[in-house]
Amino acid sequence: MSEKRPNFLVIVADDLGFSDIGAFGGEIATPNLDALAYVGLRLTDFHSAPACSPTRAMLMTGTDHHIAGIGTMLEVAIPGFQGAPGYEGYLNDRVVALPELLRDGGYLTLMSGKWHLGDTIETSPWARGFERSFALLPAGGSHYGGGLFSRFATVETLYTEDDEFVEVPNDFYSSDYFTDKLLQYFRERSSNESRPFFAYLPYQAPHWPLQAPDEAVAKYRGRYDGGPDLLRDARLSALKRFGLCGPDVVPHPVVAETEKEWADMTPEEQAVSARTMEVYAAMVERMDWNIGRVTDYLERTGELDNTVVIFLSDNGAEGAIVEAMPLSGAYIAEQIRLHYDNSLDNIGRPDSCIWYGPRWAQAATAPSRLHKAFTTEGGIRVVSFVSWPGFARQGEIGTAFSTVMDVAPTLLELAGIAHPGTSYQGREIVPMRGKSLVPYLSHETDRVHDGETGTGWELFGRRAIRQGDWKALYLPAPYGPGKWQLYDLSGDPGEIEDMAQVYPEKLATLLKLWDCYVEENGVLLDPVTVFEMDPSMYE
């Protein structure tokens, strides 16, 4: 193989909103991401799963998360749920992971960041093809190290380096330390290292708890005092100005019955809410600063121009009010009261534990409907770009539909490595469902997926199936009617006008595709999550 095969740098932000970074309409200072996005291809119809670990499973395998072992998020599964096939809670043996194939094909494989695809050494990055790795294994934790709580007991956040559990230093801050580690791995390469690299940098930011250094937060003091509705209007105006959405787009109305309107908040409540957004912005800027450290290093070493950079969020912005969860909300609220200081002046520090709620989240997902955890566009249409001088389609805005499953086949094609198909190292595996982006990035085609194939989503009992620009959506109450709705995303990206009664034949076609998706991927249709259950069952 040619020694000129490109390097790969895949960067994942955790719960980042669609319009949070500057190149996608945001006011947060993200000069390093913006520089990459403007010279690359900004993707406006790129889709993830509705939540973090399912997306990561799809990214690492090129296939659906129900097949790869993350059929649901076990952190919020109902008590007593035992994983069915595809619901093991870790990346299973039915799939081969992208780093395994790249390593086998001669790539140096490196990772630093959040894994969330297994919490043992046997299911860690080290076991799935990464030669060097530093990883936060579970879903999250304090950005300053240390554990958060679960429903049943205090849980220490678990970090590994290669094949060992490790402690983190006292000066740990997630975005800084993950970057330090990746740069360390880059520098440790020998001077005669000729292998190209695959570097995976999945940040924990800006996942809750929202925490950032005081000096970073201070830069945004007062910036959000007008509230989330004002921010939403500004973001939408910027998206239209940048050509990232249509000039006449109608945004879905904000859905936030569990949170007060800004005008109905007391001045004290407004101050706390605005501070949470200030901390969130500081986390995003700090992540961007760290990404700049990586790209600066690659530029100094002459490797940036031969590095394909792919950036994405793992789902839409996090809009949950965690203390309102049916089963665990009261417990979480009590733990916060006992162990954390969420006074105004302490918000964002290591001993605070906060999130910013559905109104700020929907300022970032607009014009789309809702946010993380939903199969609406606000939960699954995410910020993403691809940057590499070798692609013809650079400096453009890409409107073709694509998904996170397309990343693995794209990198394999660029690396000249074939997916093994149905067998790997003596075990049976499933083929990839994603499609390579290379023909689209090279201006050879104007789409990634054909207009006939169905692409499905399911999580927490919330469902969707898409074919071309048509999308059928099923949301249980209270967020939906508990029946299938139909939307034409080409003219209604906000999923506002239900066309199910107007085009019953189109809905019937999509529901046939849905049935195929369920059968092919082993989807359990009964919810297995605390979001959709009656808490009185467990009193």
Residues classed as catalytic: 52, 116
Q: CA 499: distance to chain centroid? A: 29
- Residue 507 tokens read as 């809905």
Question: Is the Cβ–Cβ distance between 366 and 252 less than 8 Å?
Answer: yes
Report in angstroms the alpha-carbon separations of 448 from 49, 98, 266, 410, 454: 18, 20, 49, 11, 13
The amino acid occupying position 86 is G
The 3-state DSSP composition of the chain as helix, strand, coil percent (nearest 5) reads: 35, 15, 50
Instruction: For residue 37, give the H/E element and its range.
Output: helix 31-39
3-state secondary structure (DSSP) of residue 229: helix
* Alpha helix stretches (DSSP H) within 41-167: 52-61, 65-68, 98-104
Q: What span, in angstroms and rounded, lies between the C-alpha atoms of 78 and 447?
A: 40
Reduced 3-state DSSP string for 216-227: HHHCCCCCCCCC
Question: Is the Cβ–Cβ distance between 527 and 461 less than 8 Å?
Answer: yes
Q: What span, in angstroms and rounded, lies between the C-alpha atoms of 98 and 112?
A: 16
Report in angstroms the alpha-carbon separations of 202 from 11, 16, 63, 101, 402: 6, 12, 19, 19, 20
Instruction: For residue 531, give the H/E element and its range.
Output: none
- Count helices and strands in the chain by DSSP H and E runs: 14, 20
- Residue 155 tokens read as 């849980």
Pairing outcome for strands 108-114 and 132-136: parallel
Bridge partners of 201?
11
3-state secondary structure (DSSP) of residue 447: coil
Report in angstroms the alpha-carbon separations of 162 from 130, 166, 178, 307: 8, 10, 14, 24
Question: Is the Cβ–Cβ distance between 240 and 294 less than 8 Å?
Answer: no
3-state secondary structure (DSSP) of residue 34: helix
Question: Is the Cβ–Cβ distance between 332 and 354 less than 8 Å?
Answer: no
The verdict on whether omega for the bond into residue 169 sits within 30 degrees of 0, i.e. cis, is no
Q: In degrees rounded to 5, what are phi and psi of residue 201? A: -125, 80
> Which residues does 431 contact at the CB level (< 8 Å), separation at least 6?
63, 419, 421, 422
- Residue 477 tokens read as 């109450």
